[in-house]
Structure 1
């Protein structure tokens, strides 16, 4: 939604370079890669594996993307400690198995490998202690806890649950490991590996749109199939992330810039370095821009919508013609000659605001997505 704000206000802003639909599919590969390899390639050469935000995006993919191609949707395993990537595993044979569809989203280890289990189960656990508060890099609990309780304990009293293959390898050379498994050869210990309960997009987008194939209505059924791909009908199915498939990337020309600008300064800045302040022509673009605006730290984000007293009308500075509006119903649009529109990052509302000419405001610079299909 949009609201208007008074002229002296200071906000972030959104810029664009080339107008286009909210999803740009720029490159469909002929080479086959695993999901992780495809993600790495897309991030290096484009923006990321493709995100699908609505049915229109899906229709475009159906025409341009072959069946069985990776998209950027995953339900992957993650390490508890931020910044540690899940790129190697030490599963025991037959694991993970999500036994009896028991939502086994947390992992414990023995000396023989990893097993998935319900996060509500209780076991002892291993903390990584960067500060060595216990006199050791690692701490093995004497009490049993659920996985979440163990994570909270480790973060409160040490650093985190042990995370990453390297830390686990280091633990195996620690005297605690030899002492523990000499006394208790089959001891089960929580480690910091868990799986998100929900599917998520590789680029961090939070779109709720899904399009699972009717033949695969429960993508969580097989825990080994935690990456999404397209089907011949344009819907989605899940498969083992280690399988090799074609894939497609997208180019997102929305850029986040942190500077302090008034609306007028922001307009000139965008036009000098990029194209213009962003215009929103339809709901699809609204949702896409709204998702990016959530990354702002100010409550509102400048748009390229301006009020003119001469014509008594709101207009997009890019000269685009659109009847689409999304004004916040709790606010009025007013008729001040210095009014400009902004988006509420908390809910996507459009607001009108007067241009601020005295104080600078930090802003985010975005550009609309382009399509090169």
Structure 2
């Protein structure tokens, strides 16, 4: 039995490669398997065992279990013991970028621990069962951080805050630390920092936890986690060898598909500013046991300067028929004539290796140039530090564009150039859209090569105004940074 929620996955539209986070599309699998076999099954049939990132995901998980054909008591999720004990904030999107430990803290012990703030604003490690007051995080509205004087354990304090649609406070700066100290009335209080060894099977960095009371108890060989649905889905650490039902995440490949592809062309001469262009590509129709791939066919269409009017488009209609469901996706192509314009694309959200599932409307500024990705070798490092927007403008004025990395070969060339940078990171021509939650290259660049650092890219959580950079040293992977930071950058140049 499957519970489906809205999903956006990696997909390609009109030459753009978009990277989005994994959705909370959960599948209750009513087979009995041990943890490792369950994980292998999910990776083969879907994406991975389920990762639960927040309360909303938790609610989806419980709803999916309630919709199963049989009663689900316990089911494996994708949480397992890792090799390293790490500190996390309770709010999943908060990273540990600021700390204010008092001297001698934190302690170097591989055991469950929680953090508290003393009367001077310094943090110290404590047994999570100790009793003290606590500070809950503000809800983002009129209510700021608030102090609760009830003396309770760390987990009971967290449950109290969650009951108020909040969580224990996360501290990201000295200013927030000072605010928490003031609201706590200079008492020792719990804050939302905890240490544990747990990691998600898919490599996600989410710190969300929803344990049963008294769990995890870390008994011998209890290195895997199940959701206990008779207890509201709360989690229990268990021995991995036990055979249980389990929860997968991600989109399932279709077991059999029949594909019908048609191309329609609409031409209009009613608009004052139009031109005719030929859009050419090859039609390839491949039917396999699990996937169907369809590419666009040749067509001629009239394009206007503002390519959001329906008559000036070429529409690709793809119909995917399965034994139970028919999916229809429409792709609307448009070509711009001005330097920068807004394309409106109506296209199926096509997960990599699967068929179309949904229809999404996207509007985002794009460049008119549709040249292929930068040839390896035609690169120049600019050892001046600029914002991302300034860097892109510089590259387009003096060279071609900020570099796009679409293959491993280009990655290696860019990494070699970046070693000579005078900044710790180097701007790339990749940008994040917070409206639609995906990464895209700034030109219509084909290819979906990725080299994100752990916790970045599809695994990251970002505000608006974030753009991509490569590490100048170390692993030289990609990270998301505020576009206002000033960094060196690499331009692609036109071939000689």
**TM tier, smaller:** 0.3 to 0.5
Give TM-score scaled by structure 2 length: 0.29
Give TM-score scaled by structure 1 length: 0.37
Q: Which has the higher helix share?
A: 1
